[in-house]
Amino acid sequence: MEQPLAFPLDIPVRGRLQALHGQLRSAILDGRLRTGQPLPSTRSLATSLGLSRNTIVAAYDRLLSEGYIVSRQGAGYVVAHAGPTQASPSRSTTGEERRLQPQWRDAIFPAPMNALPPARYDLRVGLPDASRFPFEAWRKLSARALRSLSRTPSFYDAATGREALREAIAGHVSFTRAVTCSAADIMVVGGAQQAFDLLARILVTPGHTVVAVEDPGYPPLRQTFEAAGALIVPVPVDDEGLVVEQIPPNARVIYVTPSHQFPSGMAMSPARRAALLDFARRNQAVIVEDDYDGEFRYGGRPLDALQTLDRDGSVFYIGTFSKSLFPSLRLGYLVAPAWAMPALACVRQLGDRHSDVLAQDTLALFINEGHLARHVRKMRRIYAERREALLEALSQHAGDALQPLASDAGLHIAVQLRWPVPASQLVKDAQAVNMRIEALGDYAIGDARPNGLVFGLGGMPATRMDEAARVLAQLLEAHRPG
């Protein structure tokens, strides 16, 4: 008599074939279906699951083609080779898996930023407003770039990036940020994160290289260099930026965000810039300058980039199009000293070789035909309106509880809490009313964790800022000092 399956199958309304195939495959791999065990007939399984027989046949055929089952005369379908009957103890907890490098044994699979459902008040940091992007113009330029590609041989491209895009970027940063460079000094990268990874690979000797980072500062940079074996040293910031006097003398890499300190928001003063460049020269150190949203300034003349002031080949300048265009484009650039470019190109060759060619060619056209400059001008006005609306609303509704930190640039603002309420508690309270904000202290790694909040400008229009500030004021009211 035919034996039914000894475990239940959970088949959803949609994707039935994929679900059935996946669950049977998993049962074979983890040993619930043993080698030589016959599967129910297609007719009986279809009846028990309430599925069509064609669906069962298709799932069995897929398992057959993959070698998990075989068809035997008179016996129907039989499991060909199963996995162990029970999981190995080492698989039970990631932290116990000794085959992993210690850095990653307790790693948590990162969720994408779009995994969270939409919030009524979305003030998360790092999210530009992509709804204003001229996608129709991009589509036309992409079609033109694709036609051009179809007329050229399809080979792997240069690790440094397409020449047309590197030339366009050189012109763009020379005009907008006075960065002194040519196309030969530029490598096109997959966003700032890839630039961090490449630099860590060529600059860090595991267990020896000391890397000084801003505290509070940008976690992905710190995590990337830490994973490469660097010794991370937090250096405090004040209202002039990184406190250069507190950089340890043995630091060989210093990471800074001088145009708009992340996340506090201040710009590094001219005196500090000069002192930092002098430190690098005297100590044979390099500076990683991350100009992550330098295009968006709302007042005053922008200070020269460190790269512009550098005379010793000490500065690596990183720019990204994630904030000025849209994050999923995954294109940025690294302006590197000539002595480092061969090593960068060799390391890049070992990874993904180069960024998407079609996207590079499209972006080159986008820059050269003036679309980037026009879009940045438009978005600068929009973000300036949101910034002013939010600052005014916070002052009106919560001015006695919050003190904005000085900032004339960027896509977020930070505030210090005047009342003795933990910022982490306010973040939790805000989640309960469908508001997403962030705690300033979450970006700190030293003992001094600032008690403040950070608000992003990309997720809400200016017309909603007053409403959001009123809701936040109501949350704060529960913590008003007696």
Could you tell me the two tokens for 412? 């977020």
- The yes-or-no verdict on residue 64 having pLDDT over 50 is yes
Q: Which of the listed residues 373, 389, 416 is the one where a domain comes to its end?
A: 373
pLDDT, tens digit, 9 for 90 and up, residues 147-164:
999 888 778 889 999 999
467 and 332, same structural domain? no
- Structural domain ending residue among the three candidates 331, 350, 373: 373
Given a cut of 70, whether residue 215 has pLDDT beyond it is: yes
49 with 190, same domain: the answer is no
Q: What is the pTM of this model?
A: 0.80
Mean pLDDT, to the nearest integer, of 458-475? 96
Measured CA angle at 33 (ends 29, 34), to 5 deg: 95
Question: 331 with 411, same domain?
Answer: no
**Same domain, yes or no: 241 and 152:** yes
The answer as to whether 84 is a domain residue is no
Instruction: Determine the pLDDT at residue 92.
Output: 47
- Give per-residue pLDDT as tens, 164-202: 999 999 999 998 888 989 999 999 999 999 999 999 999
pLDDT above 90 (res 88): no
Q: Which residues face 211 on adjacent strands?
A: 232, 253
**Is residue 350 located within the same domain as residue 380?**
no
Residues 350-397: pLDDT tens digits?
988 889 999 999 999 999 999 999 999 999 999 999 999 999 999 999
Looking at the fold, whether 383 and 366 belong to one and the same domain comes out as: no
What whole-number distance in Å separates Cα of residue 200 and Cα of residue 277? 20
pLDDT higher than threshold 90 for residue 296? no
Segments forming the whole domain that contains residue 349: 132-373
Overall average pLDDT of the 66-84 stretch:
79
At residue 83, the pLDDT reads 66
More confident residue, 82 or 425: 425
Question: In the prediction, which pLDDT does 266 show?
Answer: 92
What's the rounded Cα separation, in Å, for the pair 185 and 178? 14
- Any idea what the CATH number is for the domain that residue 397 is in? 3.90.1150.10
Question: For residue 217, what pLDDT is reported?
Answer: 95
- Local structure of residue 463 (DSSP, 8 states): G
How many domains in the chain?
A: 3
With a cut of 80, say whether residue 411 has pLDDT above it: yes
At 35 the pLDDT is: 87
The pLDDT score that the predictor gives to residue 94 is 54
Task: Please report whether residue 448 resides in a domain.
Answer: yes
Flag whether 395 is in a domain: yes
Same domain, 332 and 450: no
Which of 373, 408, 437 delimits the end of a domain?
Answer: 373
Instruction: Assess whether 282 and 391 both reside in one domain.
Output: no
Q: SS3 for 179?
A: coil
| Residue 116 within any structural domain of the chain | no
Strands 438-439 and 69-72, sheet pairing: unpaired
Q: What is the C-alpha to C-alpha distance for residues 271 and 238, in angstroms, rounded to an integer?
A: 13
